Amino acid sequence: MKCALITGAAGGLGGACVRALTAVGWTVFAADLDGAAITMDVTNQDSIDAAKQVIKQTTNTLDAVINFAGVHTMGSMIEGDIAQAIEKLLAVNLMGMVRVNRTFFDMLEPGRGRIINCSSECGYLKAQPFNGPYTVSKYAVEAYSDSLHRELLGLGIKVIKIQPGSFKTNMLATTLAGYDQLFATTEHHKKTLTTMQPLMTRELQHANDPTLIGKVVCRAATCRWPRNNYRVRNSGLLRLLQFVPNPILDAAYKAMMK
């Protein structure tokens, strides 16, 4: 029987992965801060080690470690305690992933299991204003995953990135709350935020069903020749901006700020 560890398993995307793999007969160890079968704080090594001991009571090998623990916040890069905000996102979104993969690697190695890391469309698309803290963390996840992928090629362990767009999870509420907080406290950006708000609302209104992520992760975990990365329902608008030369894009943002 195939076995997988999924972090962030109580969240919308992680939960969808749990359901998808369970449906095809996998044994899934669902881990999260709360609301999951196994309690795990990915920012705390002792918590990760304790979760590993719980899992080892059932199995000594894993066929997949699937990292979906993550947080989001909006913020200005020049206002508020931005350093603390970025440190928090890096602690969960990047370093939590690093700790989990390092801790459970010896359980993946015997069966040449797979590491599946949740990145984001924000990890490869052009960085946008006020989403800086999250984008920084996901760019880091991309670099980490690519480096790990090439490091493990000779060991036969595949490292796969999932790059979701907007999905209907609690993160949408977090994004809206972050926007409201930023708008209420900003000294420099009220006009820009007012102009950008309809665009943000439009993107969030087109959020997708998390079930799609579950299906993609299930495919990445089970197919013989998985891709290195899976882009799932990425924003058409943000993808279009990839083809806009930076001077033109900057001029458009500057015009919005006047």
User: Which residues are designated catalytic?
Assistant: 134
- How far apart are the C-alpha atoms of 100 and 104, rounded to whole Å? 6
Instruction: For the sheet with 64-67, list strands across it.
Output: 38-39, 27-32, 3-7, 64-67, 114-118, 158-164, 229-232
At 172 the three-state DSSP class reads helix
β 38-39/64-67 pair status: unpaired
What would the two tokens of residue 177 be? 């709350």
- How far apart are the C-alpha atoms of 204 and 142, rounded to whole Å? 23
Residue 188 is classified by DSSP as S
Instruction: Give Dmax (Cα) for the chain.
Output: 61
